[in-house]
Amino acid sequence: MDDYQTTIKSRVRLTGTGVHSGKPVAVTFVPSDVDTGIVFQFVDGPEPGREIRALVSEVGATDLSTLLGNPTGVHVSTVEHLMAALLGAGIDNLIIEMEGNEVPILDGSAAMFVEAIDQVGLEVQSAKRRFIRILKEIRIENGASWAEFRPYSGTRFEVGIDFESRAIGRQQFDIDLNGDSFRTEIAGSRTFGFLKDVERLWAGGYALGSSLENSVVIGYDNKVINMEGLRFSDEFVRHKTLDAIGDLALAGARFIGCFRSYRGGHRLNSVALRRLLSDPEAFEIVETTRQKHGRIAQISAVSGPVFAPWAI
């Protein structure tokens, strides 16, 4: 955990395709002031200049990705990989200029977002960084699926999945999250899907930009059909962990605690986060201070919101 807020040193732009729309889209990262948080700003479309804050209170849909805003009006979709990259890279304050209403899928992971951030570098700012520290267990269940937050001295994710497909099966991935572990263990894991679902998704207007260049695809024979194979033997659960990191980044600050889930997804992640933030006894906002040699000397509770009030 670092003590001070950060932004990027200069602008950087990425172009690509919207995985659901199939249309060309672009994002430009713009440095911003302390306590701005992460803000999506539209530079084209019906309402240029319109902003949507990257907060769970703005989540409008979680069907196949996480969407902020009004699904039938002004919105930005597929934000989870980008949000995970920003949290993993340690960025607190950023304006994201949107050309289109979908974040580009790029290679289906968070790696290219992290590379773009590394290209321009981080600017350490003058204001202290604030964290959400988990004080008690919060758990939700939906059939066989569940998610929970628990107190923990660091930031930890424990994610389990279970698919009938022999290509996936049951997988578990546990990690203490920091900048290095995110880059090496999570950022490169790609989104995935089943070939048998493609026609149904296309008919519904989804996955129009999906391809073997941005998705791991499992064929009718329950085998991965991508020529290069998997980047990790358990890439599927690592990507589910990446999604969870991105969805929980919509808290408005990183948290000190452990998030555990089994057979989860965007909706479960969002509901769990809302449940946590709706219980003032379940968390507190804290700042950290360090000794000269980098050890945490104190974690102090502070009053006030992180970047903006939550409307839960």
Does the annotation list 20 as a binding residue?
no
Single out the catalytic residue among 20, 75, 266, 293. 266
Does the annotation list 243 as a binding residue?
yes
CA distances from 254 to 16, 82, 283, 307 (A): 28, 15, 12, 12
DSSP SS3 for 290: strand
Query: Distance between the two ends of the chain, CA-based, in angstroms?
Result: 27
**Catalytic residue check, 293:** no
- How long, in residues, is the chain? 312
Phi–psi pair at 122, nearest 5 degrees: -100, 150
For helices 266-277 and 235-248, give the axis angle rounded to 10 degrees. 40
Helices marked H in 176-311: 179-181, 198-203, 235-248, 266-277
Does the annotation list 81 as a binding residue?
yes
DSSP SS3 for 260: strand
Residue ranges of the binding site for Zn(2+): 81, 239, 243
Active site residues: 266
